[in-house]
Chains A and B, each alone.
Chain A
Amino acid sequence: AQKITQTQPGMFVQEKEAVTLDCTYDTSDQSYGLFWYKQPSSGEMIFLIYQGSYDEQNATEGRYSLNFQKARKSANLVISASQLGDSAMYFCAMREDSGGGADGLTFGKGTHLIIQP
């Protein structure tokens, strides 16, 4: 079973609109972390936002916020007031803290977001 599922392979959004990128996850760990990364066409991986499983508040970083719904195991990324420079691949990732599995992050397949003027 997929541990991280991103159901939107591609999205087109008008500039200045808000965008929601979906991410659901699967884990039996009680303690885990959820991450979003941006990968522009230049190829680097840019850290955007982090949510810990025990954090009660949704994480926010500037125009990025993470809509964390623990019971539904979803961690959607919301980008407010989208800009042309937001066009990129976006990856959701999870770290499981129990120590029983791999120590690295598990990534979804990504969503290709294109912002149209």
Chain B
Amino acid sequence: NAGVMQNPRHLVRRRGQEARLRCSPMKGHSHVYWYRQLPEEGLKFMVYLQKENIIDESGMPKERFSAEFPKEGPSILRIQQVVRGDSAAYFCASSLGRLNEQYFGPGTRLTVT
């Protein structure tokens, strides 16, 4: 009965490096969402994926950010050439369907030095 898994829980990167964040949805869930939470703020939607498809990436920055959810394996949020402003908590959520409740993982806290 595992929930949504995210790893790593904490990630430190220097400016210019790449960050890869992983998310394994709850068993049976094929819908995955990524959110970003800046300090002292609520979560902001980034991207919504189903297996092998990006459904909605309206919240993703246009450059340096990409996401995938392959047929096998976890969903990946990739941030290239990180900058200090990318420091945030990144949450993944999964659901049975678009109109079902979203269950969140524990988050990955990215720190860019």
Which residue numbers of A lie inside 8 Å of B, CB to CB? 4, 33, 35, 37, 43-47, 50, 91, 93, 95, 97, 102-110
A37 to B59, CA, bound (A): 20
List 9 interface pairs A-B (beta carbons < 8 Å), by A numbering. A4-B42, A44-B107, A47-B101, A50-B101, A95-B99, A104-B33, A104-B46, A108-B42, A109-B42
Tell me, yes or no, whether B58 is within 8 Å of chain A by CB.
yes
Contact residue among B46, B56, B104 (Cβ-Cβ distance under 8 Å from A45)? B104
Which residue numbers of B lie inside 8 Å of A, CB to CB? 33, 35, 41-48, 55-56, 58-59, 89, 91, 93, 98-99, 101-107, 109
Contact residue among B43, B58, B89 (Cβ-Cβ distance under 8 Å from A105)? B43
Contact residue among A45, A97, A108 (Cβ-Cβ distance under 8 Å from B91)? A45
A102 to B43, CA, bound (A): 14
Given contacts A95-B99, A97-B99, contact A44 B106 (CB under 8 A): yes
A104 to B102, CA, bound (A): 9
Contact residue among A33, A44, A50, A103 (Cβ-Cβ distance under 8 Å from B55)? A103
A45 to B98, CA, bound (A): 19
Indicate if the CB atoms of B104 and A104 lie closer than 8 Å: no
A91 to B45, CA, bound (A): 14
Given contacts A102-B56, A104-B56, contact A45 B43 (CB under 8 A): yes
